[in-house]
Structure formats: structure tokens, C-alpha cells
Amino acid sequence: MDTTPINWEALDALIIDFAKSEKLVEDSSFTTSSSPPSSPPSSSSPSSISSSTYHSRLIIRQIRRLLEAGDIDAAIDLLRSHAPFILEDHRLLFRLQKQRFIELLRRGTTEDRDCAINCLRNALAPCALDAYPEAYEEFKHVLLAFIYDKEDQTSPVASEWSERRRFDIAGLISTVLRAHLHAYDPVFSMTLIYLISIHKGFCFRQGISSPISDLTQRLLLEERDPPATPQETLYEAPPFDEVDIQALAHAVELTRQGAVDSLRFAKGDLFQAFQNELCRMRFDVTMLDELVREYCVYRGIVDSGLPSSSAGIQSPSKSLKVDQPGIGFCLSRGSSHEVDSGAGKHSDGEISISTNDNLGGSPGKNSEVTSMQGVDVELRYAFESTNNHEDCSTSGSHQSDNLRVPQRSKANVTAERSKRKRWRGRQDDICFTTGVSYNETSKELSTTAVVSNMCSSREQQASECLSLDINNVEDKYEIVLGMKELTSKGMAAEVVEEVNAMDPNFFVQNPTLLFQLKQVEFLKLVTSGDHSSALRVACSHLGPLAASDQALLKPLKETLLALLQPNEDALGKGLPLHALATSLQVAIGRRLGIDEPQLMKIMRATLHTHNEWFKLQMCKDHFENLLKIDSLKDVTTPSLAAAAISKSNADSCSNGSSQVTVSSSTRMVEDGSSLTQVSSRDVVCDENAILKVMEFLALPRADAIHLLAQYNGNAETVIQQIFA
């Protein structure tokens, strides 16, 4: 199975930025970034996408809701307060007043009818004179609404009465506001939209069934906001580079004229035009938040909020006896992630637990804090089916009753959980809509945080050890996250010891993971100068494992080369520890019945098809740096461990995240190259010829290249043959 390596640390950073940008978590730094910037940054560089535009995005969402609800007067009042430039554009003002006229008539009362007439005389008619050439005809046409009922679907003004007009004007105003205020969605939102749109297009064009279609269809909606129309003065803009036009048109599925208009509206700025078009695409915000929260819980970025045996809560599940009380986790994450709490969607065979967040301490205090928090957390986890042949474990390995769980210090458990912030959801959005003061909400959350800290302090004073319950969901997450953190710190020997204590058969079923951990242990010993101990590890573990799997022989040889050139960076250069930590996390989580988050499946599939799509296009993605896609793919996998890591990543893919693979013998070229190499025929195509065929025939880049390859790279011949 072809698997695209993913830099999960880079994805963590994007997720954290998204959660903070949308104020989904508690964080004191929000107070410094809640107001719109005094001057919008230039959008020509990736760093221009800022999280400091939350307030502007909130206003845009509120205006959109008001327009979609038909409350045009309230929307105009908000625009007058926060974006008066919209009302100075007579084209937009005319459309707003026309919709206001229809909404007044829709109410049906005599008073509202009189208000509609006043709207015609004092607002709509003056705007119609200088809005745009067709405005006066539209003005005369909308007057027919006086005599045709709104229920008459055959009337000449049925489209004017349609509530769809509300959504069209709401989308148009949102598009213009985003562009003028530079209030673009967070980077992660745009990245996900872009990757999913490419994934859907790739699967459709290649006739492939997407393994994540159930998620992508619900997450990325079909409709888009209407495009913003450039002002008349921009129609005389100098011609744009054809490379930019074609890149924009094919990146967001526009016609060539649509791409030109978009560039005109952005005054020739390709990256701003791209962001404008990308943010026109609509996605399910609620579903996206749930996917992000589920991922954050899984990665240890946020606390799950479920009761744990480590928090002094008696688990309803049967507690297991600890057979080896001397074994304990060493979990000092030191993570810089500042977020909290998670959830996800449900699918067949999954179990959902809904409960309030308990913070530890006495039951009375727990209930007090829970009532203040008022947050129901729904956490999803799944037990793998016993007939899943792609699983790393055997058919009986999902029965957790035979697992032994090591003990941990209660202080360590509580200290680690206290580092995670709480999930707030879009509370500010709700407060803005209902008129509740944000300061009041912040004060309540602040009080909850104080109580939480008090409970945590009491827990940290406890020095006794506790037993983690393997049947408790929260404790399962603590076990998995503990293993992940130890691995990322290079503590391979401790990880192997802990895993063997928990499940002696785990590494029997996952020998590649054991090989990688022993590689880390070997390199760590080499770095410390203990060559004799390193050789013992190689003889006792690496050698036998490689003997049983021929794919491990090459990485074994390269690992042993560290003995010839020992240096302090041997461990860092030898293995990507974070990638290994993630592979181990997925495997152990599956062993405990914790399925990997659906967002990981989406990223695996979409990044894979992104690679395949641009192989077909035979060029580099113009926008991958802007959207941090290059960072997501930047997984440094040295030759020392390339085979082992690749095999582990393929083995760790679950059934729901299997990749679609299309073979391609073409080679990608960097931007700025004037020549493109075409696959096996070795026909060199001039970039201008490619662009000419794409422009005249409205073809995708790959199709244009293949046609040129058939006619020795001659664009004129291709065009003549097509039109002949």
C-alpha cells in the first residue's frame, strides 16, 4: 500500500492555531488578538494569514445570519457600524435595498407595505440610477412584486420572492467583507478545504472510489458563495500572467474568465485571489469542530474531560489487579500545546460516552465544578472488528481483559492533565448573537479555571501510586499518550518495558515497531559511548528481527554504520522520533480499542491524492507553501530507517484510511521551469506551448501535456487537429 508520510507535529501546530484563532479553547492570549488589525497585512506571503481577525470573522458571520434570516435592517445597521464601505458601493447597496423591499412586502401587514413604498422612493430608486447598467431594469421588474403573490411560483417575480435570494446576497456580502477586512478563515480550514476539493476532483476524474467519501461529502458542501464583482475601473487592468490565470483557474475550479475576474478583484494579487476563492467554498463548521476536538484528545493536545480512575472517580468498569506494582510511567511531556477536551462522530460498532467534566478531588467538588462548566463531552472510540485483516493485531487481541496495567503517580497524572486547556466551543459566537457580554462569559470560565487549579493542587500533593483501569476510557488515553511521549523523548528501553508489562504479545504482532524502538535504543547507546551495550542490543534484538524480515536488513546495516562515525547527533539523524511515536500511538491505541481520529484518515487520503494529482499535472503546487502543505509533507526520513518507517506507516493504516493509488511515471518540475518532461516518451514541451493549449482548449494541464506529446510539442498543430 502506497502511504504518504505526514508530519503530524506540523498538523498539531495547524490544529492549535485553528483552535486558538476560533477561540475554541481557553487561552489568555486571546485578549490581545480579538480586535481587528489596524491595517490588513499583505496577502502575498504565507505569513499574511493571521489569527488576529477573529472579531472581523465574527461580525461577518453575524451579518450573514441576519441576511439569511431576512433581517436586512439589522444587517445594514451592523454594516454601517463595522463596514461602512459596503454601503458606499452602490452596486451592493442596491441589492441590499432591493432585498429589504421584498422582505417588507413578505411580512404582509399594511404598515410594512407602506414601509416598502417608502423604501422604493427613498432608497431603492436613487440607487438604481447609478448602481450598474442593468439596475434600473431590475428596479422596474421588482415592482411587479406588488401585484404577484409570493406563493405564485409561475409569476414573473417568483425568483425575487424566493428565499434563495437571501442566501445569495448573504454570500456575496460575506465574500466582499472577507476580502476587504482580510478576515480569511484560519490556515487549517483553508488547507482542509483545498485538499478535500482536490481529493474529490481526483477521484472523480480517475474513476476511483474515495475511502473517505462519507466524511468529505458531509464536511465540504457543494454550494459556494457568489463571487465578488470587480469595480469597473479594474476592467482596464493590465493583462495578467497566463501562468497565474491557469494556476488559479485549476486550483479552485474556475473558468478562465472567472480566474481573470478574481485576479481583477484582488488587483492582480494571485495569493489574495486564491484565498478569496477558497473561502467562497462552504463547509460544515460544526462537523469540523468535532473532528478537531476528537483529534486534539487523541494527540494529547486537550483533555478528554471524561472521569478517570486517576482522578479519584470510581469507574463502573471492573478494576484489574496490577501484577507488577514496581512499574510506572515517566510522563513529563513538557508540551507547549495549550488546548483542551475532545469528541467525534459515530459509526457502526462505536461506543459513545456522554458525561460532564470531573476535575478530581471530592465528589462534592466535582459536582460543583461540573455544574459551573455545563459542558457535555461526547467522546468516540471504537473496538476493532475481529475479522479486520489489515489490523496489526490478531483476531483476539482486542479483548483488553487480559492486559496488565502499570501504576503511575497520581501527582504525575494530575500534573499532566492540568497542562491542557479546556474546550470552549464557539461560545463567543453564541454570546455575540444573543447579546450576552463576552466579559461575563470570560469571568465564568475564569472562575471555573480557578476551581480547577485548586482541585489540581490537592491532587498534586498526593504522593501515593494509583492503578490505571484498562476499562476506563480516560485511562486508556493516558496510557497511549504516555507511550507516545516516552517515544518522542527517545526513551525506547522504557517504552519496550512498559509495553511488555502491559501486553507481552504486542511486539510479537508488531515486530517492525520493536525493531524501530531497538534502533533508537542502539543509537542512544552509541551516542553515549557505550558501544558494548549497543552491540548487545543489536545481537539480541536487531539481528534476529532482521533475520525474520528481509525488509529490515538494509536499515540494520545502515544502523550499524553509526558505530563507525559516532557523534552526538546519531540519534536525531537516525530516526524521526515523532513519526515513530505516532506509529506506536496508533498501534497501541488500536490494541486498547481506541480508533485513530477521523481527521488523521482524512489527512492521509487527501495528502496522498494531492501528491498524485500534481504528478499528473507535472508541476508543483503554486499554493502549497501558503497553506503549509509542504510542511505537512516535510517528514525527514533518513535512509537509515526509511524502509522500517515506511513499512510501519503502511502497517498502521486502518481499514478506513486506505489510500487510492494511481501509478505515474511522470516527474514534477519546480516553478519557473520553462520546460516540462513528459513521461516515457521524453518529449520536451515548452511551458508557453502548454499554457497556449490549456487556454485555447480549456484543458487541464495534464491533458494539454499529453496532447502536446502526441504532436511533438507543437501547440499550433494540436489546436489545428482539435478544430479540424
pLDDT in tens, 527-559: 888 888 989 999 999 999 999 988 898 888 888
In tens, the pLDDT along 698-719 reads 777 777 887 887 777 777 887 7
**Which of 97-101, 272-276, 588-592 bottoms out in mean pLDDT, i.e. has the lowest?**
588-592
The Cα 289–Cα 270 span in angstroms is: 29
Q: Are 182 and 38 in contact (CB under 8 A)?
A: no
In tens, the pLDDT along 191-214 reads 999 999 999 999 998 899 999 999
- The residue among 509, 510, 514, 515 whose CA lies nearest residue 396 is 509
**Which of 299-313, 508-522, 641-655 bottoms out in mean pLDDT, i.e. has the lowest?**
641-655
pLDDT at res. 413: 55
- The residue among 299, 202, 277 whose CA lies nearest residue 616 is 202
Grid cell digits, residue 382: 471504537
pLDDT at res. 103: 94
Q: Are 467 and 319 in contact (CB under 8 A)?
A: yes
Is residue 472 over pLDDT 60? yes
Is the Cα torsion angle 185, 189, 195, 201 positive or negative in sign?
Answer: negative
In this prediction, residue 310 has a pLDDT band, given cuts at 50, 70 and 90, of very low
Percent of the chain at pLDDT > 90 equals: 35
pLDDT at res. 446: 44
Residue 223 sits at φ, ψ, to 5 deg, of -75, 155
Please provide the average confidence, as pLDDT, over all residues in the chain. Answer: 73
pTM: 0.72
In this prediction, residue 324 has a pLDDT band, given cuts at 50, 70 and 90, of very low
Q: Are 717 and 711 in contact (CB under 8 A)?
A: yes
- DSSP symbols for 303-351: ------GGGT---SSPPPPPS-TT-B-------------------TTEE
In this prediction, residue 404 has a pLDDT band, given cuts at 50, 70 and 90, of low
Longest dimension (CA), the chain: 96
pLDDT at res. 150: 87
Burial class (CB in 10 A: 0-12, 13-18, 19+), 114: exposed
The Cβ of residue 525 has, within 10 Å, a number of other Cβ atoms equal to 22
Domain ranges in the chain? 70-183, 473-595, 687-723
Q: Tell me which range, 293-297, 377-381, 675-679, is most confidently predicted by mean pLDDT.
A: 293-297
pLDDT at res. 408: 52
The Cα 200–Cα 217 span in angstroms is: 9
